[in-house]
Structure formats: C-alpha cells, structure tokens
Structure 1
Amino acid sequence: MKIIMKTGKSLILTTLLALLPVVAVQAKPLEKPATQAEAIEITWDELMPAPDQKVVDSYQAGEMSKADVIYYLDKLGQTPVTRLDKRTVKIPGYLVPLNLDKNQRATELLLVPTMGACIHVPAPPPNQTIYVKFKNNEKGIKVEEAGYTPYWLVGTLHVETTQSTYTETLYSLTVDSLKVYK
C-alpha cells in the first residue's frame, strides 16, 4: 500500500477542495421560498426537546413524585427546539381558524397535532401548537375546509411566542403550500 503525505500548499488546497461542498451548502440562503423538495418533514415529537435521561431514570426508579413529573413535563412543553428556527419544514396537522375575512376564509390559524386539540382543556403544550399565517394574507383557507380535515403544511418555521385567544404557541409557520393529508 502506498501512502502519500501532503505538506504545505498541497495539503491546504486538498483541505479547501474537500470543504467546498460543505461551505456551499451552508451558504444557501434561508429566505428562499419553500418547496416540497427542500422541506424537511418533521413530526410533532420533534417540536419537543428530548427529556433529560437522569429525569427519566429517576422516574423509572420511583424517585419522583407525580407532582414533580407533572412540573417537569409542563416545563418541557414550554421549551422550543431552537435548531428548527427558520427552517423550511413539512408538518401534518389540523387547522383551527382564528380569523375570518369577508369571503369566510381564515388567514390566521393554529396548527395542532390532533383533531379538536384546542377545544378541550387543558390546551396542548405551547410547543405542540403552531401559529399559522399566510404571506401577506394573500391566501387562506375556507373555514369549512379547516377543523376536520388533516393537512400537510410546508413553510418557514420560526421559534417565537404568539398569544392567541385560545392558547400560547412557541412556533409560527409562514405557509408556502397547504395540501390535504393523504
């Protein structure tokens, strides 16, 4: 086997050429409109941070009271996953209209993981509810099409707190496309 050692300019050039694809990928602008092909498909579980393994072990060993577990889960539900900020995502869910225009179209909605999730009390945790808005209020969805039909939404996810009449959310999604879930 022949081993080639590179030194000086040759090593620097080889390193730069090897890193070129990485740099090119990282230089991709985030503001580019979302497309189905570019969006990363996420699940609702990915919007909640992973639990601390020490807490899980303590719970499984019977070392935590129910009150401590409830408190911990409540705090976990109030924590966003910041690595998803400004990412183009595709996520399924149900829509809950927050407003109506003159044509009975909602342009601001909540996206929730299950049908009727915002109707019951308590509401889902803030990191399990997404505030949905359409660019420049151009689009929207007919109210009778929301609520009972699951959808795939593609758009830019933002980690930001939004307060609505129904609940607080830790994420917002600016929608680029919306399709019935199949």
Structure 2
Amino acid sequence: MPRSERANADIKNPLLRRDVLLGLTAAIAVPRASFANADEIINLNWEDLLPKGESPLPEQLRGLVQHEAAPLVTQQPQSSGLRSDWNGKIVRLPGYVVPLEFDGAAVTTFILVPFVGACVHVPPPPANQLVLVTTGEPYASKGLFEPVSVTGTFGTAAESTQLAEIGYSLSAEKIEPYP
C-alpha cells in the first residue's frame, strides 16, 4: 500500500484519531502548563518598565506634595513611553495593591503601584509605572497598599481610571504576599 493511502487509512482508524485528538489537546494545554515552569517566568522590577535611561521617580514626585491643591490625578506626570518587550510573556512583578473592583471582600481588579501612597496619598506616578491587574480568582487582600508579587500575562494597555492613567496590564494567574 502506498504511503499516502496508508496515512489516510490510519486517520480513519478510531484509535489513531483519538491519539491525534489527545495530542492536539495536549498542545493546547502546554502554554498553561509552561506557567508552572519558573524558568520561563520573567522577573521584572519597576525600572524595567521605563524607557532606557529614564529615572524611576519623576522630579514632580521627589518633593513635598500639596494635598490641598488640585486632585491628585491631575498632578500625574506625563509618561515618556512604554516598553513592549514583555507583551504576551509571563512575568512576575512586586508592588502595592490599590483596589478598584471587588467580589465580596476580595479584589478582582487593582492597580499595582511601585510605592506606598501612589494614587491615593500622593500624585500617581506616570502611566509607565502603573499596572492594571485583573484576576479571575478574586484575591483576599489584607488592605490598601498590601505588598504583593503578581505573576501572569503582561502587556501594554492604555487604561484610564478615576485615579490615574495606566500604561500596562497584567492578567494575574498568581498573587501572593510579598515579603
């Protein structure tokens, strides 16, 4: 029997068809399974989100903040640009929780900020220093500005909230307290 006829006959065999379907299912599941492989997780810090050569703390945020002045969101410094190096990659980034949306007492959407007080007590940092985190599994936060480490799929995203303009997004697969 010629090779092409044998291949067609093999596909018609229910056992082989099942093996092909199992292989395709496994191939679809591989990206999810690779999340568990710590070697593939990129550990980021806040400086990594800035264009090369930019200072992590803008000059406007280095002095005293006038809380009686204009709303904090209007005092947000302009972002000098975003980096797309990690779009679609699994990353881990530590920061502090500023809750936005809840499911009961647990947080489902929050802004991950690089320092305590950002967006609430002091003007928000530039958009390239803010990450909008969403999670399918609500996170039982211990309160405002809890230090956490978030692992998930990262990307650039222009988002606007009542607190700040946000430059990045992170679809969280894992949120854990940060030491």
Deviation at 1:43, TM superposition (A): 0.4
Aligned partner of 1:79 in structure 2 is 81
Residue of 147, 163, 168 corresponding to 2:165: 168
Aligned partner of 1:99 in structure 2 is 101
Residue of 41, 53, 57 corresponding to 1:51: 53
Question: Where does structure 1 differ by over 6 angstroms across 4 or more consecutive aligned residues?
Answer: none
Whole-Å Cα distance in 1 between the matches of residues 149 and 47 of structure 2? 16
Aligned partner of 1:109 in structure 2 is 110
Does structure 2 retain, via aligned residues, the 8 Å contact 1:36–1:154? no
Does structure 1 retain, via aligned residues, the 8 Å contact 2:114–2:130? yes
Deviation at 1:175, TM superposition (A): 0.3
Aligned partner of 1:119 in structure 2 is 120
Deviation at 1:92, TM superposition (A): 0.4
Gaps of 5+ in 1: 1-27, 53-73
Residue of 173, 177, 182 corresponding to 2:174: 177
Gaps of 5+ in 2: 1-26, 55-76
Identity score, percent: 29
Aligned partner of 1:13 in structure 2 is none
Aligned partner of 1:39 in structure 2 is 41
Q: TM-score, normalised by structure 1?
A: 0.63
For residues 111-138 of structure 1, give each alpha carbon's deviation from its aligned partner in whole angstroms, at most 9, with x where no partner exists: 001112111342111010000001xx3x
Q: TM-score, normalised by structure 2?
A: 0.64
Aligned residues: 127
